[in-house]
Amino acid sequence: MTGANRGIGRSFVEELLDRGAERVYAAARRPETVSVSDPRVTPLFLDLLNEKSIADAAAVAQDVTLLVNNAGIATGADLLSGDLDDIRRELETHLFGNLRVIRSFAPALAAHGGGAIVNILSVLSWVATPQGSGSYSVSKAAEWNMTNGVRIELAGQRTLVQGVHLGAADTDMMAGSNAPKIDPLDVARASLDGVQNNLLEVLVDEPSRFVKAALSGDPSQLYGPAPTR
């Protein structure tokens, strides 16, 4: 579990413990901030931009059967006016960082029958909004199709690869947003129920279900009419 010290990640840790997990590896950039007090929880240092930290964490967690990629960032960078370094950092985090984690942990999952990988995505994997989310949307769209790609490549080792989409959860990352927010625990419960039922995709809330359904229709449903010229 990456990003396990708060928000959705912490909720996954708590829910896994409630469901009887024998061990939970709670990974974070600052593992000392993992506040779930339970002897079954093992904090690990893992930074998505630090390849050595990923390799070291995978070397410790050799008995892993479920990998949850939850850690992420939001720079708020717009695509036309934002700092290109911020845009690159979001892609490096959500696409390449999570891909590095998957590549590092896949052998351990294979050794235990395949297991499962959960990638926490977003409704913004499929839609862009005008609230400074252009960079985030691009990076999550890339992570979404990376999820599809590794699903195909890991099918031979019987690894379930699940994508989880939601609008907004009540987390520190979304503290400045006025959008309706769901309980992070609802995300963890929906995802883990989906793992138990071999679901490739979990749409947690109404915004994710609406946008997914709208993708097959006219884009004006999501973006309004085209500008008059």
pLDDT, tens only, 36-50: 899 999 999 999 999
Residue 168: what pLDDT?
93
Torsion of CA 134, 200, 48, 35, to 10 degrees: 110
Q: For position 175, what pLDDT does the model report? A: 59
Place 22 in a pLDDT band, splitting at 50, 70 and 90: very high
Measured CA to CA, the distance from residue 174 to residue 218 in angstroms comes to: 29
Alpha-carbon separation of residue 87 from 46, 71, 94, 127, 166 (angstroms): 21, 17, 11, 17, 22
Q: How far apart are CA 99 and CA 225, in angstroms?
A: 37
Mean pLDDT confidence for 107-120: 98
Q: How many domains does the chain have?
A: 1
Task: Classify residue 195: in a domain, yes or no.
Answer: yes
Q: What percent of the chain has pLDDT over 90?
A: 91
Helices in the chain by DSSP H: which ranges?
Answer: 7-18, 51-60, 84-91, 98-111, 134-154, 184-196, 206-214, 220-223
Check residue 176 and give its pLDDT: 63
- Does 121 reside within a domain? yes
Residues 191, 82: Cα–Cα separation, whole Å: 33
- Mean predicted confidence (pLDDT) in 97-116: 98
Q: Containing domain of residue 125, as a range?
A: 59-217
Buried b (16+ CB within 10 A) or exposed e, 117-129: bbbbbbbbbbbee
Bridge partner residues of 25 (DSSP): 42
Q: Which DSSP string corresponds to 43-86?
A: EEE--TT-HHHHHHHHHH-TT--EEEE---------TTTS-HHH
Evaluate whether residue 75 is within a structural domain.
yes
User: pLDDT by residue (tens digit) across 160-218?
Assistant: 999 999 999 987 665 566 777 999 999 999 999 999 999 999 999 999 999 999 999 99
pLDDT band for 127, please (50, 70, 90 cuts): very high
Would 229 be classed as within a structural domain?
A: no
Mean pLDDT of 118-138: 94
Task: Indicate the angle between helix axes 51-60 and 98-111, nearest 10 degrees.
Answer: 20
Please give the single-letter amino acid code of residue 12: F
What proportion of the chain, given as a percentage, has pLDDT over 70?
A: 97
Cα(177)–Cα(228) distance, integer angstroms: 31
For residue 20, being part of any structural domain is answered with no
Residue 86, in any domain of the structure: yes
pLDDT recorded at residue 180: 77
- Average pLDDT score over residue span 43-68: 98
**pLDDT averaged over every residue in the chain:** 95
With 0-12 / 13-18 / 19 or more C-beta atoms within 10 angstroms meaning exposed / middle / buried, residue 169 is buried
Question: Mean pLDDT over residues 56-60, rounded?
Answer: 98
- 65 within a domain of the structure (yes/no): yes
- Give the model's pLDDT for residue 130: 87
Provide the pLDDT for residue 56: 98
Task: Specify the pLDDT at position 172.
Answer: 66
CATH number reported for the structural domain that contains residue 124 in this entry: 3.40.50.720
Evaluate whether 24 touches 37 at the Cβ level (below 8 Å): no
The average pLDDT across 70-86 equals 96
Q: Note whether residue 25 is domain-resident.
A: no
| pLDDT score for 114 | 98
